[in-house]
Amino acid sequence: MSIDLDTSLRDVLGKASAAGLANKLDLHTVGDLVRHYPRRYVSRDALTPIAELTVGEHATLVARVEKATVRPMRNRPGKLMTVVIRDDHGGRLSCTFFNPQKLAHLITPGRRALFAGKVSRFREELQLTHPEFDPLDEGEDVRPFVSVYPAAVKFGSEVVARCVRHVLDLLDDPTDPLPAYIRRAERLPELGRALRRIHVPETEADYRAARARLIWDEALGVQLALALRRQQSLERPAVACPPKPAGLLDGFDAALPFTLTEGQREVGAEIAADLARELPMNRLVQGDVGAGKTVVALRAMLQVVDGGRQAAMLAPTEVLAAQHARSLRTLLGPFGRAGELGSAERATRVTLLTGSLSTAARRQALLDAQSGAAGIVVGTHALIQDRVEFADLGLVVVDEQHRFGVEQRDVLRGRGERTPHLLVMTATPIPRTVAMTVYGDLEVSALRELPRGRSPISTTVVPAGEKPAWLQRVWRRIHEEVEAGHQAYIVCPRVGGDATKRGGAPEDEDAELIDLADPDIGAEADDGAARRPPLAVLDVAPGLAEGPLAGLRLGVLHGKLPPEEKDAVMRSFDAGELDVLVATTVIEVGVDVPNATGMVILDADRFGLSQLHQLRGRVGRGSAPGVCLLVTDAPAGTRARERLAAVAGTSDGFELARLDLELRREGDVLGAMQAGRRSGLRLLSLLRHEEIISTARGYATDLVAGDPGLAGHPALRELVDEIVGEGQAEYLSKV
Ligand code: ADP
Ligand code: MG
């Protein structure tokens, strides 16, 4: 029988095995199964004879079950299984398993298995307590390594191993998609060999080489997908908007009340050059909180307006969109009041277009966008999704890029005959490998310095669990800030006020506000103890108002408020009519109230590192120094406390981004690349494979340049599909 990677496992394996793989492990084709790699290998050499075990060591051993007995536990509910095992050298050892229901049918006399765990002593005898247990096939004994697979209950590693070997025996080596010159240059084994060796290695060098090769496939697949995207986005030209002498931008620059930082000038020049070309700009500007990205974006928009076209600015939330519209109008002054009394000669108009406008206002805004009366339209991403009509959209600015995925960028590029130029801005610094993958379709520039006169923010961890008195000092500090004429934020992970008390994740229902790139927010507690639900705005605010913050003017802001109310609260905080804002992460991005100097983050350990960094960037935006207090119940010495110490210890967003990446499940970062399909990314790591990713990027760019659409490389096209998901086929076929 001849099979290939697309062959259904039902045609190759027995019914029960195929059903098990499909139902328990979601593996359906031969390709799925051969890409289901072992999670580790156990070398025969590393096995310890029972006779040589010592207390406290972590041992891995192969032995046969001699006897297994189950009895109820003495002092508590549940059952205990005692198993006596014996190895090939005649050594005997007892193992205990708690509540062995799921294992009992596997641990039967005569069964050979791998046992791994820490050796302890119980009544003068050595034993293993609840060890890892992987049943073995008799046949596996002759192999130098035992491959241990991700498996499922009642469908163990050894069953998977047997299925894999069966399939590999029938499978001819698949066509190798990697061009031979790359294989040679990078010293990579052929695909067929790599697939066999990753499952059945003879030596350690074997599986290392096999892994290296398969990692390469993943890196190249990702980079090819991105190269194809870049290529495709260049195909529909944009309209060139060269700077216009004595235009609106020049007038604005001349009236600017501050001098641009060097970074703002440099990035501004890059953007100006991009906009002057017919090639669509695809640029990401990253700059720490407060670096002054808005004015950079505004100058780009003015160049486009000078070119007779419109610009749209998208924010992640309505609150932010409204605020952007306000601050753009303020920055523009008379240049933003076209058609009004006292406007400048070459003025334009800023129009806010959000779902919460009244019907009449919305109709007018739509009209302004459509007629071209609005040079600048500010809204949320709905602006693009709802297909608002523009007279002549020349530039789209997306603020806070990390909430804006690859697909949305494509929707933007996919409108109209001409592609609008695209400028995205983020305050979350992006490590190099992330820039080369998740944002790999963009050119990246950085604003590294902050405008002069920016005040420092001091960050302190407040261990409320150990030092309750410190919490009193926190509230006193807030009073002091207010007495000095300043304002403060109190941030909680949850909104609250309903019955849904979920485990750990901040459940800001305003879904677009949840930072998908921060999955560690919802991670289990380090110490494994059941945790109380995170503090909620609606529970905390009344307590503060009557207790420690009595006498101050408190406002409440969260995503569940109706949009008008959100806007009203924000406005009165901005106007200084409120002293303290108790809020969720709604305020995380972009909120700019220079008079706010204090921030207290409650349950700070429930937030991601980059998120904390973003949050504290909300204070110290004026001339007075900011203070950020990270309140936590996490005990000293836990990982949670280390993370908070890291945030307190550095104001370098780039360093925190790197740390965040280390703590994060990387799959979630790369997952952003996918259009909802199961990923072919299994081995690639953004932390460990920077070199490979960067080299693969070079090859991918050359390959796509030499063979647009990869028409001459069908195997590489398949690789892209397999690695990045089938949605990608669309990009290939469009070329
Ligand atoms: P972010 O990069 O976080 O979006 P903003 O664009 O909101 O930062 O800028 C923060 C504040 O700094 C704003 O009040 C803005 O007007 C001000 N600002 C921007 N550039 C400069 C500059 N070159 N000199 C002084 N202040 C500036
Ligand atoms: Mg901003």
Taking the model in full, what pTM does it have? 0.67
Can you tell me the distance from the alpha carbon of 200 to that of 165, in angstroms, rounded to the nearest whole number? 8
Q: What is the mean pLDDT of residues 497-503?
A: 48
What angle do helix axes 318-332 and 293-306 make, rounded to 10 degrees?
70
Instruction: Give me the pLDDT at residue 320, please.
Output: 82
Instruction: Give me the pLDDT at residue 335, please.
Output: 93
Binding site membership of 592 for ligand 1 (Cβ less than 6 Å): yes
Instruction: Give me the pLDDT at residue 322, please.
Output: 87
Q: What is the whole-number distance in angstroms between the Cα of residue 614 and the centre of ligand 1? A: 15
187-198: b (≥16 Cβ within 10 Å) or e: ebbebbbbbbbb
The percentage of the chain sitting over the pLDDT mark of 90, rounded to a whole number, equals: 44
Ranking 191-205, 224-238, 628-642 by mean pLDDT, the lowest is 224-238
Instruction: Give me the pLDDT at residue 356, please.
Output: 80
Instruction: Give me the pLDDT at residue 505, please.
Output: 36
Name 627's Cβ contacts closer than 8 Å, sequence gap at least 6: 457, 458, 459, 460, 477, 481, 597, 598, 599, 619
156-170, 519-533, 717-731 — most confident range: 156-170
Binding site membership of 291 for ligand 1 (Cβ less than 6 Å): yes
Is a pLDDT exceeding 60 seen at residue 653?
A: yes
* Nearest ligand for residue 296 CA: 1
* Domains annotated on the chain, with CATH: 48-141 (2.40.50.140), 248-447 (3.40.50.300), 457-650 (3.40.50.300)
Q: What is the whole-number distance in angstroms between the Cα of residue 295 and the centre of ligand 1? A: 7
Q: What is the pLDDT of residues 145-180, one digit of tens each?
A: 888 888 777 787 888 988 999 999 999 998 899 999
Q: What is the mean pLDDT of residues 673-681?
A: 52
Q: What is the whole-number distance in angstroms between the Cα of residue 452 and the centre of ligand 1? A: 10
Q: What is the pLDDT of residues 66-111, one digit of tens each?
A: 999 998 888 788 888 999 999 888 899 999 998 887 778 888 899 8
Residue nearest to atom 18 of ligand 1 (CA): 292
What residues sit around ligand 2, an ion, with C-beta below 5 angstroms? Answer: 590
Instruction: Give me the pLDDT at residue 444, please.
Output: 84
Q: Counting atoms of ligand 1 from 1, which one is nearest the CA of 594? A: 14
- From 294, 298, 457, mutation site for ligand 1 pocket: most ligand atoms within 8 A of C-beta: 294
Q: What is the pLDDT of residues 384-441, one digit of tens each?
A: 777 788 899 999 999 875 555 556 666 666 566 778 999 989 877 777 777 777 677 7
Q: What is the pLDDT of residues 204-252, one digit of tens each?
A: 899 999 999 999 999 999 899 888 888 877 778 899 999 999 999 999 9
Q: What is the mean pLDDT of residues 267-279?
A: 96
Residue nearest to atom 9 of ligand 1 (CA): 292
Residue 690 pLDDT class (50, 70, 90 cuts): confident
* Nearest ligand for residue 451 CA: 1
Binding site membership of 286 for ligand 1 (Cβ less than 6 Å): no
Q: What is the whole-number distance in angstroms between the Cα of residue 657 and the centre of ligand 1? A: 22
Residue 625 pLDDT class (50, 70, 90 cuts): confident
Can you tell me the distance from the alpha carbon of 617 to that of 571, in angstroms, rounded to the nearest whole number? 19
Is a pLDDT exceeding 70 seen at residue 310?
A: yes
Q: Across the chain, what does the average pLDDT equal?
A: 83
The CA-to-CA distance between both ends of the chain, in Å, stands at 37
Q: What is the mean pLDDT of residues 617-645?
A: 87
Q: What is the whole-number distance in angstroms between the Cα of residue 674 and the centre of ligand 2? A: 27
Residue nearest to atom 23 of ligand 1 (CA): 260
Q: Counting atoms of ligand 1 from 1, which one is nearest the CA of 296? A: 6
- Continuous H helices in 171-292: 180-186, 191-199, 204-235, 248-255, 262-275
Binding site membership of 295 for ligand 1 (Cβ less than 6 Å): yes
Is a pLDDT exceeding 50 seen at residue 514?
A: no
Instruction: Give me the pLDDT at residue 531, please.
Output: 63
Q: How far is CA 717 from the centre of its chain?
A: 26
Q: What is the mean pLDDT of residues 274-284?
A: 92
Binding site membership of 218 for ligand 1 (Cβ less than 6 Å): no
Binding site membership of 618 for ligand 1 (Cβ less than 6 Å): no
Residue nearest to atom 24 of ligand 1 (CA): 451
- From 253, 262, 295, mutation site for ligand 1 pocket: most ligand atoms within 8 A of C-beta: 295
Residue nearest to atom 13 of ligand 1 (CA): 292
Q: What is the whole-number distance in angstroms between the Cα of residue 547 and the centre of ligand 1? A: 36
Q: Coil, strand or helix: which one is 93? A: strand
C-beta atoms surrounding 734 within 10 Å: 11
Give the max Cα distance, the chain.
Answer: 98
Instruction: Give me the pLDDT at residue 502, please.
Output: 39
- From 252, 253, 256, 258, mutation site for ligand 1 pocket: most ligand atoms within 8 A of C-beta: 258
507-543: b (≥16 Cβ within 10 Å) or e: bbebebbbbebbbbbebebbeeeebebbbbbbebbee
Q: Counting atoms of ligand 1 from 1, which one is nearest the CA of 264? A: 23
Instruction: Give me the pLDDT at residue 142, please.
Output: 60
Q: What is the pLDDT of residues 249-262, one digit of tens each?
A: 999 999 999 999 99
Residue 188 structure tokens:
């990579």
Q: What is the whole-number distance in angstroms between the Cα of residue 558 and the centre of ligand 1? A: 25
Q: What is the mean pLDDT of residues 475-485?
A: 95
Instruction: Give me the pLDDT at residue 498, please.
Output: 62
Q: What is the mean pLDDT of residues 49-71?
A: 88
Q: What is the whole-number distance in angstroms between the Cα of residue 294 and the centre of ligand 2? A: 6
Q: Using CB atoms within 10 A of its CB, is residue 703 exposed (0-12), middle (13-18) or buried (19+)?
A: buried
**Cα angle: 418, vertex 233, 177; to 5 degrees:** 155
Is a pLDDT exceeding 50 seen at residue 525?
A: no
Using alpha carbons, select from 439, 431, 375 the residue that is nearest to residue 402. Answer: 439
Q: What is the whole-number distance in angstroms between the Cα of residue 452 and the centre of ligand 2? A: 17
Is a pLDDT exceeding 60 seen at residue 704?
A: yes
Q: What is the whole-number distance in angstroms between the Cα of residue 115 and the centre of ligand 1? A: 60
Q: Coil, strand or helix: which one is 146? A: strand
Is a pLDDT exceeding 80 seen at residue 590?
A: no
Q: What is the whole-number distance in angstroms between the Cα of residue 428 and the centre of ligand 2? A: 11
Name 655's Cβ contacts closer than 8 Å, sequence gap at least 6: none
* Nearest ligand for residue 617 CA: 1
Q: What is the whole-number distance in angstroms between the Cα of residue 294 and the centre of ligand 1? A: 7
Got the DSSP string for 277-315? Answer: SSSPPEEEEEE-TTS-HHHHHHHHHHHHHHTT-EEEEEE
What angle do helix axes 248-255 and 293-306 make, rounded to 10 degrees?
150
Binding site membership of 213 for ligand 1 (Cβ less than 6 Å): no
Is a pLDDT exceeding 80 seen at residue 729?
A: no
C-beta atoms surrounding 302 within 10 Å: 28
Binding site membership of 264 for ligand 1 (Cβ less than 6 Å): yes
Is a pLDDT exceeding 60 seen at residue 667?
A: no
C-beta atoms surrounding 339 within 10 Å: 9
Q: Counting atoms of ligand 1 from 1, which one is nearest the CA of 447? A: 2
Q: What is the pLDDT of residues 370-389, one digit of tens each?
A: 999 999 999 987 787 777 88
482-506: b (≥16 Cβ within 10 Å) or e: beeebbbbbbbbbbbeeeeeeebbb
Residue nearest to atom 12 of ligand 1 (CA): 292
Residue 294 pLDDT class (50, 70, 90 cuts): very high
Instruction: Give me the pLDDT at residue 598, please.
Output: 95
